Amino acid sequence: MTIQTPLTFFRQHIAELRHALRVVTAVIAAFVVVRLLGMPQGWWAVITAVLVVQTSVGGSLKAALDRLLGTIAGALCGAAVAVAIPHVTDLGLGIAIAAAILPLAYLAAINPMFRVAPVTALIVMLPIYGPGGNPLISAADRVIEIVIGNIVALAVTFVILPTRAHSQLREAAAKVASLNADLMDRLMDGLTNDLGRQGVPPLHAKIRAALKQAETAADEAARERKMKVSDDRDPEPVVRTLYRVRHDLVMVSRAAAKPLPEALVTDLGPLLAILRQDAVAVLRGISASLLARMPAPALDNYQAGTKALSQAIDGMAEDRKRVPHEEVARLFTLRFALDQLGEDMRDLSSRTSELAKAHSAASASPSSG
């Protein structure tokens, strides 16, 4: 059992610790603000601060906007129904609640941005059941509290160790590339033997999860660009290329569903071994380049290997007596998949180098210092 030192733990979980610090700071700041303002139910501002602070600036901006729009919609609807429908009895309150929640629940189903609206409507309406409640004042209080929570949360997000979504995108993309390298290693091994084939399904699951993380980070990075809080490059092409590489490897996995016949392994084994080494090196190099913001490696060796493999497969396809028809078809599938993988890895390498150039240009500009 490996024992982690506090310093090792800190280095491995620095992103999570930074996020925890921002949340705690936002909670304390929101609590202090509502106390200074003397708000009787200011705890809604504190709750909002917890919900709005996300792991990136882009995520916090989205959470704040969703929270604000959902609160306004819920407060207006709840106040309007409370004024329009008498609810001095349990039956009347039940009818009023149903009338307010039905359209808001439908709205939340159409657009998740409004998922907090039904909750806000309930908060606005339920205190009205007591004597002396005013639905308009209650609605205004909820909106003010949410606005305060949003302002505090966003201020903390921008000031306390801010994390850009673009950095999270690079980390997620690097993880995808590294996992793809592991998968390529297993798949090419599966063409010559069955060793390690049981490890392929878990790798596919990990890649899907990492791609989802990259997609989420890309959405948040795009929001930062749209709101002018970041001038990083458009993140969408990186995610799109990662998905294409993923699809190429799925094609390779179909061709590598079982080992090749022994005669083909004898002829193609050395070429496949070289291609395996070169592809894994490229993918791992891209992963390292994403993390270091450095130019990505070239694909010259890999493309030379695919060309040699294609020539060997063409020669085998002409010998119909020696190579069964179904194996010829599988070899052509493998050739196409590996060729396409080379094109998409080249594209991913270019995207990685573009990110490195953009970072170098930003670091060299006078305003960056």
- Average pLDDT on 330-351 reads 93
Record the pTM: 0.78
Phi, psi of 39 (to 5 degrees): -80, 125
More confident residue, 239 or 364: 239
pLDDT at 164: 85
pLDDT in tens, 138-171: 788 888 988 999 999 999 999 998 888 888 899 9
Mean pLDDT across 178-189: 92
Query: Following DSSP, what letter does each residue of 314-352 receive, concatenated?
Result: HHHHH-TTTS-HHHHHHHHHHHHHHHHHHHHHHHHHHHH
Q: Residue 367: its pLDDT value, please?
A: 43
Q: What percent of the chain has pLDDT over 70?
A: 91
Instruction: State residue 367 phi and psi, 5-degree precision.
Output: -70, -20
The distance of Cα 364 from the centroid of its chain, to the nearest Å, equals: 29
Rounded average pLDDT over 106-119 = 92
pLDDT band, residue 369 (cuts 50/70/90):
very low
Q: Are 200 and 187 in contact (CB under 8 A)?
A: yes
Of 5-14, 129-138, 241-250, highest mean pLDDT: 241-250
Find the radius of gyration of the CA atoms of the chain. 28
